[in-house]
């Protein structure tokens, strides 16, 4: 059984240690206290020892003589018809006639052996009941045995020793501010109680994966310098099958004893999922959740137990968990903005040797949309690359390459592509880039490559915004859709044939167009009516429809119309610039990679064929003043 795995080994060790101690003690005590072994000696030796006054006491029994020497050693010898014996013994001052048993007190002997047996049996019994507890699961009395003794639960409640501080968490200033208050409270509770303020009992960190929720909770523990109980929701469910509720109870019992302290429940959605009336409901999880709810009600706001929890699925949590008095403070931990990304890169760059001329700003801009975890990974990948290339420190180039690794995967150097395929990919990518460059409001092209990546991409066009983008206008979305269609359009124009290479573009274009219709209210027909709802905002953003079938049909038609229009627009742009398309695609085919500067240089260069080209250039300049400048 999987749940027993972690504890199996320690239990066997426990049994062996018990047995060894038991045996060793028994042997030791037996030897030292009970009886020294009786040595057989000859009658001659006995006589000799009497003469040398070595014998202390002797007892003549019917068939043997037992005697002891001055040191307490015991001997025996056979009987010989010796009439002088008593006289000789008397003269040698030997105590005789009394029975010789043993020097040690028989009462102590019995007490000690009994005690050994009792201890031994008690230890064994404990071992057996422990195993039973694991098997029986939720019989409450048995369970209290294994709980809270710190040994079997070592993995569950970990006191923070990581020493992570707020300074290790970059960006996320709002979250840090909110958490700082909790830290201050734990330091000086009287300041708050004096004025009558009660601290929020629980704070819930919500945000996409890898944004530093777990890290923030650890930092709170590091700053507050109080005991930190950390457990993850899935551990409640997995490690202690049938014992979730008891585990919650035990956790809170321990926390109350250690107050002030912090209890951190990571991935709380594993236990805090909405209870529903569906048949597939999970009793075990519901019990655990109910126990958690009642524990959170059960202690006063001022007793110094602060509960932190983290999740990336806040929408799936039970509403009862979120009501005031439980997790009443919700701390959003969002993807970092440009400044946040720069800060995170700097924090992690401290851990590696990095050359002085690295421009974190450029890297942060290239890695738009990356989470903290991805940024940490970028630094590490760069360091690994530096080692591979035999360098002593990380350079800008390492970092830029590792951004691409994190976004698109490693380069697949030995992937075999035919020249025709390579050419197709080159035209496809330049198609994207040209459509982007010829429209207003799209981010400048910074790099195009046709080196295949492990993610499956055969090439890609990188566009990097100058600054942060928080809003997207309708024009921008339309231009983006048109850019997505640009790749396929180039294939159509040049090869009069289409390939599977555009599947991802199609998906993205459709997603944007659909969102315009159903969520952004960007069509005249539906005005500001939502037809879809986002279900999990932090994990992929799946949506659910909420409209009639007729409307759904209409939505589909409108989505098709939007994409078709943009596709036509892209076709127009590429037809107008077909000379540039050929020129840049040729360059890309030969070099495999083209930088933003090289791209703009070719684009802005006076074309050889004068007439229609100068016309194009004028058009470009009018249409696209910023990019061409």
* Residue 178 interacting with ligand ADP (CB under 6 A): no
Give the residue, chosen from 68, 74, 211, 230, that forms a contact with ligand ADP under the rule CB under 6 A: 211
Residue tagged 């590792």 (tokens)? 402
146, 200, 202, 212: which one binds ligand ADP (CB under 6 A): 212
Burial class (CB within 10 angstroms; exposed 0-12, middle 13-18, buried 19+) of 412: middle
Is residue 456 close enough to count as binding ligand ADP by CB under 6 A?
no
The angle at the Cα of 158, spanning 157 to 163, to the nearest 5 degrees, equals 155
Site residues for ligand ADP, window 150-169 (CB under 6 A)?
Answer: 169
Q: Answer yes or no whether residue 381 interacts with ligand ADP by CB under 6 A.
A: no
Residue pair 227/256 in contact (Cβ under 8 Å)? The answer is: no
In the region spanning residues 8 to 67, those forming contacts with ligand ADP, defined by CB under 6 A, are none
Please identify, using beta-carbon distances, which residue of 333 and 451 lies nearer to ligand ADP. 333
**Under the rule (CB under 5 A), what is the footprint of Zn ion?**
487, 505
Q: Which of 235, 267, 429, 492 is catalytic?
A: 429
Q: Is 517 in the site for ligand ADP (CB under 6 A)?
A: no
Provide, rounded to whole angstroms, the least separation between the CB of residue 214 and ligand ADP: 3
Among 77, 214, 446, 518, binds Mg ion (CB under 5 A): 214
Nearer to ligand ADP, 337 or 598 (CB): 337
211 near Mg ion, judged by CB under 5 A? no
Is residue 232 a contact point for Mg ion (CB under 5 A)? no
Strand 228-232 versus strand 261-266 pairing type: parallel
Member of 54, 172, 284, 318 binding ligand ADP (CB under 6 A): 172
Strand order in the sheet with 445-449: 460-463, 445-449, 593-595
Q: Does 374 bind Mg ion (CB under 5 A)?
A: no
Would you count residue 183 as binding ligand ADP (CB under 6 A)? no
Q: Which residue is nearest to Zn ion (CB)?
A: 487
For residue 257, count other CB atoms closer than 10 A to its CB: 10
To the query of whether residue 497 is one of the catalytic residues in this protein, the response is: no
End-to-end alpha carbon distance in the chain: 68
| 415-454 footprint of ligand ADP as x/- string (CB under 6 A) | ----------------------------------------
Q: Taking CB within 5 to 8 Å according to partner kind, which of Mg ion, ligand ADP, Zn ion, none is near residue 210? A: ligand ADP
Render 380-398 in DSSP notation, one character per residue: HHHHHHHHHTT-SSB-HHH
* Region label for 303, one of left (φ > 0), alpha (ψ between -120 and 50) or beta (otherwise): alpha
Longest dimension (CA), the chain: 150
Contacts of 462 (CB under 8 A, 6+ apart): 366, 404, 445, 446, 447, 448
Is 376 a binding residue for ligand ADP by CB under 6 A? The answer is yes
DSSP letter at 460 equals: E
Interface with ligand ADP, residue 215, by CB under 6 A: yes
Q: Which does 147 bind (CB under 5 to 8 A by kind): Zn ion, Mg ion, ligand ADP, none?
A: none
Identify which of residues 54 and 505 has a Cβ nearer to Zn ion in the complex. 505
Q: Give the residue from 322, 57, 363, 105 showing the smallest Cα distance to 204.
A: 322
Query: What are the C-alpha distances in Å from 297 to residues 10, 233, 309, 535?
Result: 36, 19, 16, 29
- Per CB under 5 A, does 442 bind Mg ion? no
Q: Is 311 in the site for ligand ADP (CB under 6 A)?
A: no
Picked from ligand ADP, Mg ion, Zn ion, none, the partner binding residue 505 (CB below 5 to 8 A depending on kind) is: Zn ion
Contact of 380 with 386, CB cutoff 8 Å: no
Inter-CA distances, 504 with 477, 493, 499, 513, Å: 17, 20, 12, 14
Which of 381, 492 has the CB closer to ligand ADP? 381
Q: By beta-carbon distance, which residue lies closest to Mg ion?
A: 214
Q: Is 364 a binder of ligand ADP (CB under 6 A)?
A: no
From the list ligand ADP, Mg ion, Zn ion, none, pick the one residue 487 interacts with, judged by a Cβ distance below 5 to 8 Å according to partner type. Answer: Zn ion
CA distances for 138 relative to 125, 150, 152, 232, 288, angstroms: 19, 19, 16, 20, 12
Sort strands 593-595 and 445-449 into parallel, antiparallel or unpaired.
antiparallel
Instruction: Tell the residue number behind the tokens 């801009």, with chain if given.
Output: 365
Q: What is the Cα–Cα distance from 505 to 500, expressed in whole angstroms?
A: 10
Count residues near Mg ion (CB under 5 A). 1
Shortest separation between residue 406's beta carbon and ligand ADP, angstroms = 12
User: Which secondary structure element, helix H or strand E, spans residue 251, and what is its range?
Assistant: helix 244-258
3-state secondary structure of 542: coil
By a kind-dependent CB cut-off of 5 to 8 A, residue 250 interacts, out of ligand ADP, Mg ion, Zn ion, none, with none
Indicate whether 382 belongs to the interface with ligand ADP (CB under 6 A): no
Least Cβ distance, residue 209 to Mg ion (angstroms): 7
Binding letters toward ligand ADP, positions 585-604, x by CB under 6 A: --------------------
Stretch near Mg ion under the rule CB under 5 A, chosen from 94-102, 206-214, 334-342, 466-474: 206-214
Residues belonging to the active site: 429
Q: Where along the sequence are the contacts to Mg ion (CB under 5 A)?
A: 214
**Which residues form the interface with ligand ADP (CB under 6 A)?**
169-172, 209-215, 310, 344, 347, 372-373, 376
């Amino acid at each position: 059984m999987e749940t027993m795995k972690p504890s199996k080994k320690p239990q066997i060790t426990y049994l062996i240690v018990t047995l060894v101690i038991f045996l060793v003690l028994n042997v030791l005590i037996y030897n030292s206290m009970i009886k020294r072994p009786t040595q057989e000696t000859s009658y001659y030796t006995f006589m000799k020892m009497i003469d040398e006054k070595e014998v202390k006491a002797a007892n003549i029994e019917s068939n043997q003589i037992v005697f002891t020497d001055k040191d307490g050693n015991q001997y025996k010898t056979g009987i010989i018809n010796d009439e002088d014996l008593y006289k000789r013994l008397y003269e040698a001052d030997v105590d005789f006639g009394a029975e010789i048993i043993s020097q040690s007190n028989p009462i102590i002997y019995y007490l000690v052996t009994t005690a050994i047996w009792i201890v031994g049996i008690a230890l064994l019994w404990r071992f057996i009941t422990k195993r039973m507890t694991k098997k029986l699961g939720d019989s409450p009395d048995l369970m209290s045995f294994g709980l809270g003794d710190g040994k079997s639960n070592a993995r569950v409640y970990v006191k923070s020793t990581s020493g992570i501080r707020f300074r290790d968490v970059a960006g996320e200033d709002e979250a840090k501010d909110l958490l700082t208050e909790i830290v201050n409270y734990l330091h000086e509770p009287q300041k708050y109680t004096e004025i009558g303020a009660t601290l929020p009992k629980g704070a819930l960190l919500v945000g996409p994966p890898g944004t530093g929720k777990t890290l923030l909770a650890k930092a709170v523990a590091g700053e507050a310098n109080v005991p930190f109980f950390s457990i993850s929701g899935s551990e409640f469910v997995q490690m202690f099958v049938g014992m979730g509720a008891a585990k919650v109870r035990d956790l809170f019992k321990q926390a109350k004893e250690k107050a002030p302290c912090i209890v951190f429940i990571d991935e709380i959605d594993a236990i805090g999922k909405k209870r529903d009336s569906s048949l597939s409901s999970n009793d075990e999880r519901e019990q655990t959740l109910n126990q958690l709810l009642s524990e959170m009600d059960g202690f006063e706001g001022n007793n110094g137990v602060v509960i932190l929890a983290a999740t990336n699925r806040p929408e799936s949590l039970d509403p009862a968990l979120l009501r005031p008095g439980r997790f009443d403070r919700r701390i959003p931990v969002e993807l970092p903005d440009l400044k946040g990304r720069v800060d995170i890169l700097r924090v992690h760059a401290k851990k590696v040797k990095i050359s002085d001329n690295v421009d974190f700003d450029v890297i942060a801009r290239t890695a738009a949309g990356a989470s903290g975890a991805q940024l940490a990974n970028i630094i590490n990948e760069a360091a690994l690359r530096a080692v591979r290339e035999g360098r002593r420190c990380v350079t800008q180039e390492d970092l830029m390459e590792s951004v691409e690794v994190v976004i698109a995967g490693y380069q697949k150097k030995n992937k075999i592509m035919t020249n025709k395929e390579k050419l197709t990919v080159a035209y496809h990518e330049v198609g994207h880039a040209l459509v982007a460059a010829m429209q207003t409001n799209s981010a400048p092209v910074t790099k195009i490559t046709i080196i295949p990546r492990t993610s499956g991409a055969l090439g890609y066009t990188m566009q990097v915004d100058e600054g942060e983008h928080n809003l997207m206008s309708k024009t921008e979305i339309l231009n983006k859709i048109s850019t997505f269609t640009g790749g396929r359009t180039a294939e159509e124009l040049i090869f009069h044939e289409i390939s599977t290479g555009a599947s991802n573009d199609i998906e993205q274009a459709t997603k944007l167009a659909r969102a315009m219709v159903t969520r952004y209210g960007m069509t005249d027909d539906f005005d500001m009516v939502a037809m879809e709802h986002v279900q999990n905002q932090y994990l992929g953003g799946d949506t659910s429809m909420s409209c009639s079938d007729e409307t759904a049909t209409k939505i589909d038609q409108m989505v098709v119309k939007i994409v078709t229009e943009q596709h036509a627009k892209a076709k127009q742009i590429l037809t107008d610039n077909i000379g540039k398309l050929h020129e840049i695609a040729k360059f890309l085919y030969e070099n495999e990679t083209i930088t933003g500067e090289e791209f703009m240089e070719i684009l802005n260069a006076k074309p050889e064929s004068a007439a229609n080209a100068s016309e194009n250039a004028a058009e470009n300049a009018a249409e696209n003043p910023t990019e061409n400048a």
